């Protein structure tokens, strides 16, 4: 890449922002990353990563070559050609969209915005955010969106822990305020990504992301509901799903589990529910899926109680070892993890809970530390509850040494002491 290579600014160096920064840097595009947390900035500048998908030995050469630099200073963002916003979009205490980080970033950016810069929002949000919320704040600069600076939305599709699709190879949807905004965004992303999918407006791009997440939430809820019914009917739902998946068309397998977790699927659909109210519309699939998925931890704990009961034991006073507290396999992210709810429910009924997770050393909010999965530890617990099926766990050893296992992920081989979801 020549010295005239465009410089990209990535705002928010988390699960989304850091892989994005690495993808551009690996394509030879210099990246300036901005984060509010000084310790993260310091770690990145030292070539040390805190995001598993970007190991330090991948980050360090990029930092050393000057292709990635991190800062906390908004003034530095004036230097970049494109500003890509990857900030959190959680729900507030009333389960309504909390856009404060994104809108706060726009306020910081506005007085520093330059003629000709491109601004792209990547954070998941409801349709209309880019045009109706972001543009007016950025236009306080005196510059007009779509005329003096380009503005677009491009949803992030990263799936932490996935290795078969990367930031580079996953097609990137972009929708600009004007065709020229779309073209500018496509041009920048085309430097680091193999396939760019241009859509007509930011609203189409915003809704695309929500459709993808709602599709997952609804399908997971469907199999979770069937799992509960099959449990009652004595039918093995996993066998049913495997058999259905042999149909070569018109079916896509989803697996049941202890409930949804992470920063996306449990949260994003409710951005649309909130926005839909403005249009006097109720998003019933989203609500129903949320309800079914959120009931899974309680169903799983009931299963633990039944398993103990079959041995004339009560949960009250039993030692319970939860295996896996991250919200899904091979990641260290515990945000919204169903394991937390399961731990709380177990403890509320008198369970003495400990946990093992090779990715999560401590659960400070629960005052717990990961314990090793030794034969002695397994034997010292009344029941092992498998919540997250990280690779590399010795499932055979669990079955061999634990008196009782409740497997919520179909990770453990079938055995007389194993109860399965
Ligand atoms: N994590 C995923 O798998 C995933 C996938 C697709 C889309 N998304 C979406 O991408 C967005 C970002 O998610 P994430 O998982 O990367 O979040 P994250 O919490 O991992 O990262 C956000 C980063 O922004 C920083 N930050 C927060 N407020 C800031 C501020 N005001 N100024 C500067 N920096 C600030 C934080 O320190 C953090 O490093 C969200 O909208 C999310 O829904 C996430």
Ligand 1 centroid to Cα of residue 342, in Å, is: 26
Alpha helices (H) in 12-118, listed in sequence order: 17-26, 38-45, 56-64, 100-109
CB-based burial label for 163 (10 Å; 0-12, 13-18, 19+): exposed
CA distance 394 to 145: 55
A 10 A CB-CB count for 3 gives 5
- pLDDT tens string, the chain, 421 residues long: the values are 444 567 999 999 999 999 999 999 999 999 999 999 999 999 999 999 999 889 999 999 999 999 999 999 999 999 999 999 999 999 999 989 999 999 999 999 999 999 999 999 999 999 999 999 999 999 999 999 999 999 999 999 988 888 899 999 999 999 999 999 999 999 999 999 999 999 999 999 999 999 999 999 999 999 999 999 999 999 999 999 999 999 999 999 999 999 998 888 889 999 999 999 999 999 999 999 999 999 999 999 999 999 999 999 999 999 999 999 999 999 999 999 999 999 999 999 999 999 999 999 999 999 999 999 999 999 999 999 999 999 999 999 999 999 999 999 999 999 999 999 9
Tokens of 398: 């669990």
CA of 7 to the centre of ligand 1 (A): 21
> What values do phi and psi take at 378, rounded to 5?
-60, -45
Collapsing DSSP to helix, strand or coil, 307 comes out as helix
Which of 263, 267, 330, 336 to probe ligand 1 with, by most ligand atoms within 8 A of CB? Answer: 263
**What residues form DSSP beta bridges with 419?**
406
What's residue 171's pLDDT?
98
Nearest protein Cα to ligand 1, atom 41? 123
Q: Quote the CA–CA distance of 270 and 249 in Å, as a whole number.
A: 30
Taking Cα atoms as reference points, which of 98, 114, 126 lies closest to residue 150? Answer: 114
Please list every protein residue whose CB sits less than 6 Å from any atom of ligand 1. Answer: 11-17, 34-37, 40, 86-89, 101, 104-105, 123-124, 156, 158, 160, 263-264, 268
For a substitution probing ligand 1, which of 9, 16, 130, 266 has the most ligand atoms within 8 Å of its CB? 16
* Pocket perturbation via mutation, ligand 1, pick of 9, 10, 15 by most ligand atoms within 8 A of CB: 15
Contact 241, 251 (CB under 8 A): no
Phi, psi angles (nearest 5°) of residue 120:
-130, 130
Residue nearest to ligand 1 atom 15, measured at CA: 15
- Give SS3 for 397: helix
Nearest one of 382, 379, 388, 384 to 360, comparing CA atoms: 388
Which residue numbers are catalytic?
Answer: 264
Residue indicated by tokens 């396999």: 329
Task: Tell me the Cα Rg of the chain.
Answer: 23
Shortest-distance Cα residue to atom 7 of ligand 1: 156
Strands 150-153, 172-176: pairing is: antiparallel
Instruction: Determine the distance separating the centroid of ligand 1 and the alpha carbon of 16, expressed in angstroms.
Output: 6
The answer to whether 382 touches 360, Cβ cutoff 8 Å, is no
pLDDT of 95 reads: 87
Residue identifier of the C-alpha nearest atom 10 of ligand 1:
123
Q: From CA 240, how far away is CA 352, in angstroms rounded?
A: 35
Residue found under tokens 């085309």: 190
For residue 13, the CA-to-ligand 1 centroid distance in Å is 7
Distance 263 CA to ligand 1 centre (A): 9
What is the dihedral sign for C-alpha 318, 402, 242, 214?
A: positive
Please report which helix (H) or strand (E) contains residue 185, including its range: helix 179-190
* pLDDT confidence of residue 160: 85
Q: How far does the centroid of ligand 1 lie from the alpha carbon of residue 416, in Å?
A: 44
The protein residue with its alpha carbon nearest to ligand 1, atom 20, reads: 14
- From the CA of 72, give the closest atom in ligand 1: 33
């Amino acid at each position: 890449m020549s010295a005239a290579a465009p410089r990209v600014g990535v705002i928010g160096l988390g699960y989304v922002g850091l892989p994005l920064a690495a993808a551009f840097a690996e394509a030879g595009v210099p990246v300036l990353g901005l984060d509010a947390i000084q310790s993260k900035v310091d770690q990145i500048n030292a070539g040390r990563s805190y995001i598993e998908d970007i190991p330090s030995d991948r980050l360090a050469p990029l930092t050393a070559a000057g292709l990635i630099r991190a800062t906390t200073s908004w003034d530095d963002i004036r230097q970049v050609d494109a500003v890509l916003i990857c900030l959190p979009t959680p729900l507030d205490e009333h389960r309504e969209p909390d856009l404060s980080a994104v809108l706060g970033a726009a306020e910081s950016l506005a007085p520093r915005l330059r003629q000709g810069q491109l601004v792209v929002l990547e954070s998941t949000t409801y349709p209309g955010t880019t045009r109706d919320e972001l543009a007016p704040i950025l236009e306080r600069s005196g510059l007009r969106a779509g005329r003096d600076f380009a503005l677009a939305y491009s949803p992030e599709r990263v799936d932490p822990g996935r290795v078969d699709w990367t930031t580079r190879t996953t097609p990137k949807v972009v929708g600009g305020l004007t065709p020229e905004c779309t073209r500018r965004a496509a041009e920048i992303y085309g430097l680091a990504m193999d396939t760019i999918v241009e859509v007509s407006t930011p609203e189409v791009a915003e809704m695309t992301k929500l459709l993808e997440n709602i599709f997952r939430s609804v399908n997971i809820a469907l199999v979770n509901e069937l799992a509960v019914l099959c449990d009652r009917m004595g039918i093995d739902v996993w066998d049913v799903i495997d058999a259905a998946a042999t149909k070569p068309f018109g079916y896509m397998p989803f697996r049941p589990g202890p409930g949804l977790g992470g920063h996306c699927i449990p949260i994003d659909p409710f951005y649309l529910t909130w926005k839909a109210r403005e249009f006097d519309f109720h998003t019933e699939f989203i609500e129903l899926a949320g309800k079914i998925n959120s009931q899974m931890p309680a169903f799983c704990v009931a299963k633990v109680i039944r398993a103990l009961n079959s041995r004339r034991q009560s949960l009250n006073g039993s030692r319970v070892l939860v295996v896996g507290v991250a919200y899904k396999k091979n990641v260290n992210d515990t945000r919204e993890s169903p394991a937390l709810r399961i731990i709380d429910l177990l403890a509320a009924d008198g369970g003495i809970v400990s946990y093992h997770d090779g990715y999560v050393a401590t659960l400070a909010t629960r005052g717990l530390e990961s314990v090793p999965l030794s034969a002695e530890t397994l034997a010292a617990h009344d029941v092992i509850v498998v919540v997250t099926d990280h690779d590399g766990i010795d499932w055979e050893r669990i079955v061999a040494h634990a008196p009782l296992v409740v497997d919520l992920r179909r990770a453990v081989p079938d055995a007389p002491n194993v109860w399965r979801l």
